[in-house]
Amino acid sequence: MDIDFALVLVSLVSFCGALWLLDSLLNKNNRLAAIEEYLRTQAKGRSEEEINKAVAELGEEPLVIEYAKSFFPVLLIVLVLRSFLIEPFQIPTGSMIPTLEVGDFILVNKYAYGVRLPVVGTKIMDIDDPKRGEVMVFIPPHENKYYIKRVIGLPGDTVRYEDNNLYINGELIITEFEKEILIDTSIGDLPGTLYSETIGGIEHAIQLIDALGQRRTRTNWIIPNGQYFMMGDNRNNSSDSRDWGTVSEEDIVGKAIAIWMHKEPGLNLPSFSRNQWIY
């Protein structure tokens, strides 16, 4: 089960803040009053050391309040950074190979497509709209978890994908041969081909499995308003809009901008050899 870190952070920040506020409203004045009472009635004739010790004990906050006050600003900063600026994300599947590999840790720009409230995702400020060819993180219509794919179709576009050829608004997207490769699949390595493709002025690599042809019955889509058509760069090995439909503007998370670390599955040390911008 995926953990909703935004919800966890909001809950922790709210809990710590509520404890701090309640203590300030209900208990802080009582501690100050106890100190004043001690100084007025019991401090006379005592040494400075005794007085300071007694005052410290009377003014001491409960341990849970100390922790709440210590953690609140730290958690709040993390919440603001993750919710409105940059959020880390790990690539769990190979659907975006060769652009992104399993084990890549990437940074997602949370404000590129508008500022949204954490957890609920409601947009409170427009910044920009997704562009064709950009790599985007989103929540798909069929599953409540983060996905990452490339933006292929914008609202109003007509997308056609047939015989491994991509057409946008009737125009064939030209691919250039790069080299023959072996592609890792659930049934072992299969021969494939690496191509260079340019969409929306963004050049990137895609890969196709030579032995696989058309495996989907539907080949044409008209993209509704407020929706986006997403595809993986691992074209024959990606569950995307060709299978579960378009992505609503309300379910956009952010724009993938960079790989900052890579870690192979298992007991392997992380490496920084794949650090790069994402195109």
**Which tops the pLDDT comparison, 121 or 239?**
239
**Helix/strand/coil for 1:** coil
**Helix/strand/coil for 133:** coil
Regarding whether 203 and 105 lie in a shared domain, the answer is: yes
Catalytic residue among 110, 149, 241, 255: 149
In this predicted structure, what is the pLDDT of residue 214? 65
Q: What is the mean pLDDT of the chain?
A: 92
CATH of the domain at 127: 2.10.109.10
149 labelled catalytic: yes
Q: Which of 84, 99, 132 is the last residue of a domain?
A: 84
- Print the domain residue range for 161: 91-277
Q: Which of 64, 84, 104 is the last residue of a domain?
A: 84
Lowest mean per-residue pLDDT among 55-69, 121-135, 221-235:
55-69
Q: Which of 56, 84, 112 is the last residue of a domain?
A: 84
- Span 185-212, pLDDT tens digits: 878 888 999 999 999 999 999 999 987 7
Regarding whether 265 and 167 lie in a shared domain, the answer is: yes
Regarding whether 231 and 153 lie in a shared domain, the answer is: yes
Regarding whether 76 and 101 lie in a shared domain, the answer is: no
Regarding whether 272 and 151 lie in a shared domain, the answer is: yes
Q: Which residue's structure tokens are 């494939």?
A: 192
**Confidence label for 2 from pLDDT (cuts 50, 70 and 90):** low
User: What is the rounded (10 degree) CA torsion for 15, 17, 19, 23?
Assistant: -170
Regarding whether 28 and 125 lie in a shared domain, the answer is: no
The domain total for the chain is 2
Regarding whether 229 and 149 lie in a shared domain, the answer is: yes
Catalytic residue among 14, 44, 47, 95: 95
